[in-house]
Amino acid sequence: MIEQSIGFMSVLVLIGSAQGLLLALALVFMRRGNRRANLFLAALLLILAIGLVDGFQNLTNYYLRYPYLIGVVWPANFLVGPFLYFYVRELCSPRRLVLSGKQVLHYLPLSGMPCYSFPFMPWARKGRCSYGLPRSHR
């Protein structure tokens, strides 16, 4: 059986995730500066911090205990690019950013990911997922 353990690297990943969450909260409640740019950056940091929690799950092999959490964060990874783009655009553009139909297309890959991973999800929910495990552990 694969051992589930918390090591030094997994603790560092968890500390990094907590730091990202705290910084995102600080940016949300900050009253000074470019408020909209801070919100885009806070959303970006929140997605990256949640991705680190997923990395913690992989490092510690907790995906074996909680297989229904496999792939929950995958669609959110498609938001990193749009939020980074909108953050930089909000900082650099002299006029206010208004989301038009063309810019909403940045979120199109996000909507496609659940459709792509849908066949995988029932197996993970029922705990019968053996994806990525050696044959001796299935």
Helices (H), ranges, 60-107: 80-92, 101-104
Q: What is the pLDDT of residues 31-72, one digit of tens each?
A: 888 888 999 999 999 999 999 988 898 888 887 787 777 777
pLDDT band at 125 (very low <50, low <70, confident <90, very high): low
Name the residue among 64, 66, 71 with its Cα closest to residue 117. Answer: 71
pLDDT digits (tens, 9 = 90+) for 88-109: 998 898 777 777 777 777 777 7
User: Is 131's pLDDT higher than 80?
Assistant: no
- pLDDT above 70 as % of the chain: 81
| Confidence (pLDDT) at 77 | 85
Higher pLDDT, 73 or 24: 24
Q: Are 110 and 78 in contact (CB under 8 A)?
A: yes
Question: Which among 76, 72, 68, 66 is positioned nearest to 46, based on CA atoms?
Answer: 76
Predicted local distance difference test score (pLDDT) of residue 134 = 47
DSSP state letter for 23? H
Domain locations along the chain: 8-130
Residue with tokens 């980074």: 84
* Residue 20 pLDDT exceeds 50: yes
Which residues, at least 6 apart from 47, have a Cβ–Cβ distance to it below 8 Å? 76, 77, 79, 80, 83
Residue-averaged pLDDT of the chain: 80
